[in-house]
Structure 1
Amino acid sequence: MESAPIVHELPWGDVWGQDEAVAQLQAAASDPASMTHAWLITGPPGSGRSTLAYAFAARLIAGDGDGVDHVMRQVLAGTHPDLTALRTEGVIISIKDARALVERSYFSPSLGRYRVIVVEDADRMTERTSNVLLKALEEPPERTVWILCAPSDADLLPTIRSRVRTLRLRDPEVADVARLIVQRTGVDPAVAEQSARLAQRHIGMAQRLATDAASRTRREQILRAVLGVRGVGDAVEIAGRIVQAATEDAKALTAERDEAERASLLRTLGVPEGAAVPPAVRGQVNALEDEQKRRATRSLRDGIDRVLTDLQSLYRDTLMLQFGRDTDLINRELEQDLRALAAAWTMQRTLTVLDQITLTRSNLEFNAAPVLALESMLITVASGRTP
């Protein structure tokens, strides 16, 4: 017997390539008796886990009564009173934010069937923050649903994992992502394929690469520069270039938004454009600026992390060539250089560099100075030995 086709309508219209997950959540939302009140949606960056979480939240809150579409649109826009969402743009989720979520979780739904708490990037919770959520996840009120999102269940504490139902999203193929990028942007299919491959199937990053030639050029320049590292002097120079490029990228992504937020806050506080900020409201402006600084730090770290992901793909390709496999290279445009590197290096040296990239990522998560962490990593690239 064939299963019924999935209808991709509101709220599922923006969920792409996850038919099995959509079917599972649709079934859960339609059968309150089998509902689980704490979910963990996992998937690689760009797989759509947050999009799916909000679609599920919309369906849970709206139910099947009158005005369903209107309620769903409110939820998807983030304006429904029964939705509480935490989208942290800092390095970590604070205990204060976690406590606020727990407090909200004990409120009864005001209009919808359920109160839904969505936590994006739940992997950014420290152990102490995770412990704040434990009891609320274990014994939530009857009509409260928690939806956590993270790259993998391994990114959360075992005590959290034991209290949630995990839904793992599939990793899309390069060809699938390329087709989606063509549909969304109209770019040349060859550019879309290259971008999807270089982004390692991360949909958002693939779209950015496909529509921004400067981003593609900058990526290639950084990888070629790293391939040319021969000593400590090169390591210092290239580390500085990577941090500078990530800093400029972060500023470009946040500057316009920061200014708009500040202008909006000042209008709300009744401060005329161009006027000095009165002492009475300076605290609120300072609080906004502090939040923007935390967001800028996260954006910088994310930019450097993206470079580390690109470097992992570079040395992954090198290792593949050392094993005699050349049919699934990510960085095909650099194949000639990678073949030369694969011939010059031992497999052990390549593995040492890959291990050091992983260690660098971990060190940055623990607030290591970006330039120093990258310098250390690039010295390993130059020497084949950890400092």
Structure 2
Amino acid sequence: MPGVFDRLAGQADVVAELTAAASAARARVPGQGWHEADARMVHAWLFTGPPGSGRSVAAMCFAAALQCEHPEIVGCGECRSCHTVLAGTHADVHLLAPQGVNILLKDVKETIHRAASRPSTGRWQIVVVEEADRLTEQSGNALLKVVEEPPSRTVFLLCSPTTDPMDIMVTLRSRSRNVALRQPDAAAVEAALLAGGGIDPERARWAAAVSSGHIGRARWLATDEATRERRDVVLELPMVMHNPGRAFPLADRLVSAAEQEALARNTPNDEREVEELRTAMGVGGTGKGAVAAGRGAAGAVKELEKAQKSRRTRSTRDSLDLALVDLAGFYRDALMAGLGVADIAPVHPDKAEESARLGGHYPPASVLGAIEAIQECRAAIEVNVKPKFAVSAMVGAIREALG
């Protein structure tokens, strides 16, 4: 029988550890203190790994295994609890993620309050914190307080691309068991794409080969024509960098594509949230309270729309960052070709001819300067420089590096 952990690509060691922990969790006596628990199962976990390695997927699979109702199989993937956890609708699994740039104190407090109660339907109250590196000092301290003195039936699953204490509070990190995921190879990504069905095998193989082990990116490339078109725009940029009349407009197009992608991916959820809020506040009703409800709803909707705008900004940055990683990968391939390194797999095997031609035309130091300019652009966007300005400056810096 396929289980929930089949969704993890190339992470056999991680699956073994989490399965053992979920098995140990079943043997715990309800209400037992954590200090008396089986050492395989702890109350706080930190999932780390490079982008696309499956940190959040691992956390949700573990949450499903902990709540699984099957009497013998841990994380069966078939019971109601497994289905609802993976669908994000389980009453006792709470997702805490940035609604904008950071995870705010008010969001942490709301989640902790819900998670402190007894489980309503499952074995555990589970808090999954996506992008824990985006906790602010205040929200991180609030979460630390409850992690230090956890309720006996609450489990915390934190996800972050790094264990660097500059990104995650060292005290929060030290109270969690680290599960390090590695970048899956192309074969593992291809298998993960084919496991879900509905994807052409040839396209799955191509997407796995060009996604640098990023499973989510591979799935988008395999299933979404617009994503493939955006990648083509990104990888065209190095080939026209010598021509400012083509390079700068193409860079603007790159930023616009990231904004459109963020809008397309967030709009359905944004509209649903607004409609649910208006319904919850009684907008459209009749009676004495209808007018007051309308006024209150207007303010609440305005606050929600502000949060949604912040979330779209974050999505735009994330989309643009993936594009910049693709661009850096092209110049990396060019650098390897220029140095004559043949035993390292290219990031973009389908563009090997173009990257080799560029690598043969420019000295390695110049190509390395282009890569540095891309990294500086990524850092600038992360500290709130407007993407259009940052990318335009990057194009200028690359042109200068290449001479």
Alignment TM-score, normalising by the size of structure 1: 0.86
**Match of residue 260, structure 1, among 272, 279, 282:** 272
**Match of residue 366, structure 1, among 383, 389, 400:** 383
**Match of residue 231, structure 2, among 219, 222, 244:** 219
Counterpart code for 1:206: A
Distance in 1 (alpha carbons) for counterparts of 2:400 and 2:86:
51
Where structure 1 has 5 or more consecutive residues not aligned to the other structure, the ranges are 1-6
Q: CA deviation at 1:342?
A: 1.0
- Taking every aligned residue pair, what percent have the same amino acid on both sides? 38
Cα gap change, 1:342 to 1:14, in 2 (>3 Å): closer
Q: Which residue is 1:21 aligned to?
A: 14
Answer yes or no: is the 8 Å Cα contact 1:185–1:211 preserved in 2. no
Q: Which residue is 1:151 aligned to?
A: 161
Q: Which one is further off, 72-81 or 359-368?
A: 72-81
**Match of residue 350, structure 2, among 319, 325, 333:** 333
Distance in 2 (alpha carbons) for counterparts of 1:133 and 1:385:
47
2:336 corresponds to 1:324? no
**Match of residue 55, structure 1, among 61, 79, 82:** 61
Cα gap change, 1:238 to 1:53, in 2 (>3 Å): same
Answer yes or no: is the 8 Å Cα contact 2:237–2:247 preserved in 1. no
Distance in 2 (alpha carbons) for counterparts of 1:335 and 1:78:
40
Q: Which residue is 2:29 aligned to?
A: none
2:237 corresponds to 1:246? no
Secondary structure at 2:38 match in 1: helix
Q: CA deviation at 1:62?
A: 5.0
Distance in 2 (alpha carbons) for counterparts of 1:109 and 1:185:
34
Distance in 1 (alpha carbons) for counterparts of 2:354 and 2:83:
50
Where structure 2 has 5 or more consecutive residues not aligned to the other structure, the ranges are 25-36, 286-290
Distance in 2 (alpha carbons) for counterparts of 1:331 and 1:74:
37
Q: How does 1:178-257 map to 2 (within 5 A)?
A: 178-230=190-242, 236-257=248-269
2:280 corresponds to 1:280? no
Answer yes or no: is the 8 Å Cα contact 1:41–1:53 preserved in 2. yes
Distance in 1 (alpha carbons) for counterparts of 2:90 and 2:207:
36
Deviations 1:339-366 (A, max 9, x none): 2221222222222222222222122111
Segments of 4+ in structure 1 off by > 6 A? 63-66
2:397 corresponds to 1:380? yes
Answer yes or no: is the 8 Å Cα contact 2:237–2:250 preserved in 1. yes
Q: Which residue is 2:371 aligned to?
A: 354
Q: Which residue is 2:144 aligned to?
A: 134
Answer yes or no: is the 8 Å Cα contact 2:10–2:185 preserved in 1. no
Q: Which one is further off, 33-42 or 226-235?
A: 226-235
Q: Which residue is 2:312 aligned to?
A: 296
Q: CA deviation at 1:314?
A: 0.7
Q: Which one is further off, 223-232 or 23-32?
A: 223-232
Answer yes or no: is the 8 Å Cα contact 2:52–2:183 preserved in 1. no
Answer yes or no: is the 8 Å Cα contact 2:9–2:189 preserved in 1. no
Cα gap change, 1:270 to 1:113, in 2 (>3 Å): closer
Q: Which residue is 2:28 aligned to?
A: none
**Match of residue 361, structure 2, among 332, 344, 351:** 344
Q: CA deviation at 1:39?
A: 0.5
Q: Which residue is 1:177 aligned to?
A: 189
